[in-house]
Structure 1
Amino acid sequence: MVPNCSSGRASTDCRGAGVVRDPLAAPPASGVGGALARARVAPTTADGSGRVPRDRSAARRGTQLARAGRIRSGPAPAHRRSTLGARALVTENASATTGGYPGWWTDLDRRAVDTARVLAMDAVQKVGNGHPGTAMSLAPVAYLLFQRAMRHDPTDPGWAGRDRFVLSCGHSSLTLYNQLYLSGYGLELDDIRALRTWGSLTPGHPEYGHTAGVETTTGPLGQGIGNAVGMAMAARRERGLFDPDAPAGSSPFDHHIWVIASDGDIEEGISHEASAIAGHQQLGNLTLIYDDNHISIEDDTAIAHSEDVVARYEAYGWHVQRVDWTAGESYREDVAALERALAATRAETTRPSFVALRTVIGWPAPNLQNTGKAHGAALGTSEVAATKERLGFDPDQTFEVAPEVLVHARTVLDRSRQARAGWQRTFDAWRAGNPERAALFDRLAGRDLPAGWTEVLPTFPADPKGMATRKASGAVLAALAPVLPELWGGSADLAESNNTTMAGEPSFVPTAHQTKQWRGGPYGRTLHFGIREHAMGSVLNGIALHGGTRPYGGTFLVFSDYMRPSVRLAALMRLPVTYVWTHDSIGLGEDGPTHQPVEHLATLRAIPGLDVVRPADANETVVAWRTVLERTDHPAGLCLSRQDVPTVDRSVFGSAEGTARGGYVLAEASGGTPAVILLGTGSEVQLCVAARDQLEAAGTPTRVVSMPCVEWFREQDTTYQDEVLPPTVRARVSVEAAIGMGWRELVGDAGEIVSLEHFGASAAFSVLLERFGFTADRVVTAARASLVRAGSTFAPAADG
């Protein structure tokens, strides 16, 4: 049975002592003092005159304004229908923020919530676009979280002991921005005024690293859910590294992840994948509050969405509850019921928690509440004024914040100081009793690598047969396992193919879900994402955002398409996530064109800030891994071969250390001055070497450049780039078993591009390479054509 926490009495699942355990303790009587009272909270008049109008709000407060407001435009499916019924009227006194309240709630809390609603309307109205409705209806939810439910410190947003808050529905950014302002994270009223404008701290969607208090960049719906799952997993892994034996709830590494998600988040496929992982992992440190308002841009979601979402989450193995603010004869924001529900989520430590909160979007706007127009557009001058009147605010003022309201809201700073002091005592006791683990904690917090860690990296002898670069990658992971405990990861059900498993390391999985092949426990190291590539990408982002550890995840390169939105966000946030993408070309052979990547290297290179690394042999793979781990501000994708490739003889050819610079001279031309340059990546570098032998034998000085990472090469200074690719040498050939997009920049107008401009086929890889022209002979032909185009003296004579 799904508990309903909307009743006046808490059910067994909702009791939690009747209220949320307050991680911020009780507020001191003194408040925050005169400094906050002098904060910049003067309202702006609608006419811009700057005059302060007379206070008419007191007369308005308590006035009954019986205004009609649509709850639905038509009947909902039975399992989604509120007891309020279709086309019911909302007639309660909006200015009183009607609802049930916890014992600590005062009139100043009510006014703070209504202030957040007004700021949401005014900010969107000022800029002319945005999403006011959800920020209005979620104002009491966010206020409850920031004031009482979450453990956080607005003066130190990066505090290690904090809970994390994820606004998955990033379009409702004002839901978060208003609380960051009210609780003292550093946002000022002018920042709210500057919503969605150039250079502001309040962009249209929250951006990680841009605004203090924003834990992740959200906007593409569903991504925040996956990020939150990753954060919860990272928190458990962190506890396993530092304090595995502490009783539940007693460790300084016990903290909670809170998510607010919308109907749109829940509809996105990634929410299914990520939520299934969370349920399977039994993440008791995760709570998702579902804003079940039944409205999206196209108005009533019943046109496209009819599933029983609560039953779905129950099937995932989540602890589920309902809080329905539409359940009575009128809309009632029962904050006390929500607080009881959140208390139950705190008490539930063996399952993630899902709270379905039925709200009315845009409440209490008299005409546009519960409509698609409230979702994604300014409400309009008359609707904003009417709503302000309902709330007891002066309709002639904008951005009205009473000083006493701000002072009261910022008493959270006192509660957070008390909570942090208690946490600090626990942390200090842990540090004193665990000096080695404390040293590891300090190293990981600074994203530092241990001294001498590279000494364990393997080196591979020259071998004409060689090995697949995916196998070399697996050897690197095995070597790093003992010295880099922060490194952990796995695969989307392709562990054996991707070579992503560190031998002997336990699986990260509840004990009940171990298998004969995969033994482990809740603090394990090997991740199993299942066939859920999109969620894997988002979870990896969440792990990296949580901090401390370095995650990686593997799948076939062709399936990076399933991950792309998450990969793009990793690049946007500059997260140190590593992707192990194997089977990187038609060289995978018989599985055929559905599994053979053709366009993927080019499309991934098109993502700004993503390092795409395609090593040519085992030793380049080692240096690639080392370089990736040394960089903490970029995601990177290692594109690795299924088939064996020769291990280059480094006593004859250039050092693999050149990999770290993105491109380097692998084989120099005779005499040191090339007539033509052959550029290759990955498994095609061997074709360049073979073609060079033919060209040199014919008297053409030929240089081979291995270009494992175009992005790293572009970072080098112009002097180095010109040393590798002299501008005077216009005859150039690029060789890569993928589309040629992007190579013209490097080969120039006289260059030739040996590429694959169509899909592959099902056959042995050797047959495919021959049939599709990836041979030394074709590279030689391309080189001679480029020599002709460049007007080189080494160009072959024309026939006849």
Structure 2
Amino acid sequence: MSDIKKFKKELDTFHNSEATRKSSNKIINVICAKSDNYIGGSADLSGSNGTKCNNHKIISKEDFTGNYIHYGVREHAMVAIMNGINIHDKFKSFGGTFLVFSDYLRPSIRLASLMKLPIILVFTHDSIGVGEDGPTHQPVEHLSSLRAIPNLNVFRPADAIETSECWELMIKQTDTTSAICLSRQNLPQLRNKININNVKNLVGFGAYILYQSREANSISIFASGSELSIAMDVAKNLEKKQIGCKVISVPCQEIFWEQSLEYQMAILCNNTLKIAIEAGNDQSWSKFIGPHGAFFGVENFGKSGKNSDVYSHFGLTVEKITKKILKIINPAN
């Protein structure tokens, strides 16, 4: 645990844009460097998922002394095997695939959650940000679908610091299954550019205020993962028009709903217009934005193209979201 905290501290001076799947791989290297009880793996996507670290040794039919399994294109079998590994007192397991393929392993995830197994599922390529791979590889309904499973924490970090905090929480779990959803595309570092307490594990609150305007706040913008930077830029745009905003990062909805009622009310119970931005469908956001809020996301299958073009096609750009919010505030304009 102290190694993750040390790694997180080093991120205070890390300002390069980086895909959260790559940030996750760095953290896996930190975790596995000093522990031999983690069995990693991937369903034929080790390089893309970033689940294999530098000191992993492959388990084969000739040699069972390793700590990494190439599962092949067998997502359901992978998680079933991970469940079996995790039942053993000594071992904990993590395994990866693309988020869109979580459909193939859903029965095994459900059993892991039912049996209270703290396996860790690493889902990369988590949105339309996949780009050219097109709608067959672009998850849309998957985040909401996973969030519907009891006893499953679904994490979606926005940058390297949030990713490290997610891993810190996941490896501490003893009876809750975890899924971490990570970007293919590079994302800006947000937390180390804001005057915020990075010593605390803020992901541990499920949702937290990342930024708020000096002006009186009339809009609350909720976002996760790759859309958090969009939310930040929308807030800055609205500030230029003297509209105060609060930006709330929501890396794990399940953990947020476990917080005290007082904390939930501090985040949710105000007279602001509630906005949510996530490159998926809206099913898991209604409790945040209420019946009068607005959701910006993806309600149809994705498109093949540059990820920036696909985001623009679905209206997930700073300019388009800002324009629509202004129309909501003042329909006459």
The residue matched to 1:507 in structure 2 has which SS? coil
Q: Is the counterpart of residue 484 in structure 1 residue 59 in structure 2?
A: no
1:610 is matched with 152
Partner of 2:138: 596
1:696 correspondence with 2:247: no
What is residue 96 of structure 2 aligned with on the other side?
Answer: 554
**Helix, strand or coil: the match of 1:675?**
strand
Alignment partner of 1:669 is 2:213: yes
* C-alpha contact 2:32 2:55 (8 A) present in aligned 1: no
Instruction: Tell me the CA shift for residue 465 of structure 1.
Output: 4.8
Percent identity of the aligned residues? 37
- In the alignment, what sits opposite 1:762? 304
- The match for 1:685 is 228
Instruction: Give runs of aligned pairs for residues 422-571 of structure 1, distance below 5 A.
Output: 452-458=2-8, 459-461=10-12, 465-511=16-62, 521-571=63-113
Alignment correspondent of 1:720: 263
Unmatched 5+ stretches in structure 2: none
Structural RMSD (CA): 1.7
Q: CA offsets, 1:719-752, max 9 Å, x none?
A: 1122222x12340100000011121111012210
**Count, aligned residues:** 330
Q: Corresponding residue for 1:783?
A: 325
Structure 1 residues 655 and 684, CA gap change in structure 2 (3 angstroms): farther
Counterparts of 2:246 and 2:101, CA distance in 1? 34
Secondary structure of the residue aligned to 1:670 is: coil
Cα 1:462/1:580, change in 2 over 3 Å: same
- Aligned equivalents of 1:782, 1:732: Cα separation in 2: 13
Task: Give CA-to-partner distance per residue, 1:423-460, whole Å, 9 cap, x none.
Answer: xxxxxxxxxxxxxxxxxxxxxxxxxx7xx454453442
Maintained 8 Å contact 2:276/2:289? yes
Helix, strand or coil at the partner of 1:724: helix
Distance across 2 between alignment mates of 1:778 and 1:720: 32
Distance 2:135 2:29 in 1: 32
The answer on whether the counterparts of 1:463 and 1:646 sit within 8 Å (CA) in structure 2 is no
- Residues 462 and 649 of structure 1 are in contact (CA less than 8 Å); yes or no, is this contact kept in structure 2? no
Output one character per residue of 1:166-191: Cα deviation in whole Å (capped at 9) or x when no partner: xxxxxxxxxxxxxxxxxxxxxxxxxx
Match of 2:279? 737
Q: Distance in 2 between matches of 1:716 and 1:705?
A: 15
Residue 784 of structure 1: how far off its partner (Å): 3.2
Are 1:476 and 1:625, in contact at CA under 8 Å, matched by a contact in 2? yes
Task: Say which SS state the counterpart of residue 121 (structure 2) adopts.
Answer: strand
Distance in 1, Cα, partners of 2:295 & 2:191:
27
The within-5 A match list for 1:303-322 is none
Q: Retained in 2: the 8 A contact 1:598–1:739? A: yes
Post-superposition offset of 1:547: 2.3
Q: Counterpart of 2:132 in 1: which secondary structure? A: coil
Which AA in structure 2 matches 1:457?
F
Compute the displacement of 1:480 (Å): 1.2
Distance (Å, rounded) in 1 between the aligned partners of 2:314 and 2:213: 28
Distance 1:455-1:734 versus aligned 2 partners, 3 A rule = closer
5 Å-filtered alignment, 1:626-645, equals 626-645=168-187
**1:674, 1:729 within 8 Å by CA — same for their partners in 2?**
no
SS in 1 for 2:51: coil
CA distance in 1, matches of 2:332, 2:158: 35
Give the Cα–Cα distance (whole angstroms) in 1 for the partners of residues 179 and 144 of structure 2. 13
1:548 Cα deviation from its structure 2 partner: 1.8
Taking a change above 3 Å as real, the CA distance of residues 626 and 697 of structure 1, as seen in their structure-2 partners, is same
Does the CA contact (< 8 Å) of 1:654 and 1:665 recur in 2? no
Q: Any gaps of 5 or more consecutive residues in structure 1?
A: 1-448, 512-520, 789-795
Change (3 A) 1:598 1:462: farther
Distance in 1 between the 2:64 and 2:247 partners? Answer: 49
Select the structure of larger CA radius of gyration.
1
Tell me by how many angstroms 1:490 deviates. 1.0
Determine which of 652, 663, 683 is the counterpart of 2:194.
652
Structure in which a larger fraction of residues adopt strand: 2
- Contact 1:462/1:648 (CA < 8 Å) preserved in 2? no
- The one-letter code matched in structure 2 to 1:638 is I
State whether residues 222 and 231 of structure 2, in contact with CA within 8 Å, keep that contact through their aligned partners in structure 1. yes
Check conservation: 2:4, 2:164, Cα contact below 8 A.
Answer: no
Query: 3-state DSSP class of the match of 1:598?
Result: coil
Aligned to 1:88: none
Residues 380-395 of structure 1 mapped to structure 2, 5 A cutoff: none
Distance (Å, rounded) in 2 between the aligned partners of 1:598 and 1:487: 31
Cα distance in 2, alignment partners of residues 532 and 621 from structure 1: 26
Give TM-score scaled by structure 1 length.
Answer: 0.40
Query: Is the Cα–Cα contact under 8 Å of residues 490 and 553 in structure 1 kept in the other structure?
Result: yes
Contact 1:456 1:480 in 2 (8 A): no
| Residues 604-643 of structure 1 deviation map (CA, whole Å, 9 limit, x = unaligned) | 0011111000000111000000011112110010000000
Contact 2:218 2:244 in 1 (8 A): yes
- The question of whether the paired residues in 2 share the 8 Å contact of 1:590 and 1:765 is answered with yes
In structure 2, C-alpha distance between the alignment counterparts of 1:456 and 1:598, rounded to whole Å: 35
Distance 2:294 2:323 in 1: 10
Amino acid at match of 1:564: R
- Offset at residue 579 of structure 1 (A): 0.2
Decide whether the 8 Å contact of 1:491 with 1:554 is kept in 2. yes
Shift of 1:651: 4.7
Q: Residues 4 and 27 of structure 2 are in contact (CA less than 8 Å); yes or no, is this contact kept in structure 1?
A: no
Q: Distance in 2 between matches of 1:784 and 1:633?
A: 45
Amino acid at match of 2:244: P
How far has the Cα of 1:462 moved from its partner? 5.6
User: Secondary structure, in 3 states, of the residue corresponding to 1:493?
Assistant: coil
Change (3 A) 1:586 1:765: same
Note closer, same or farther for the CA distance 1:649–1:456 as it changes in structure 2 (3 Å cut): closer
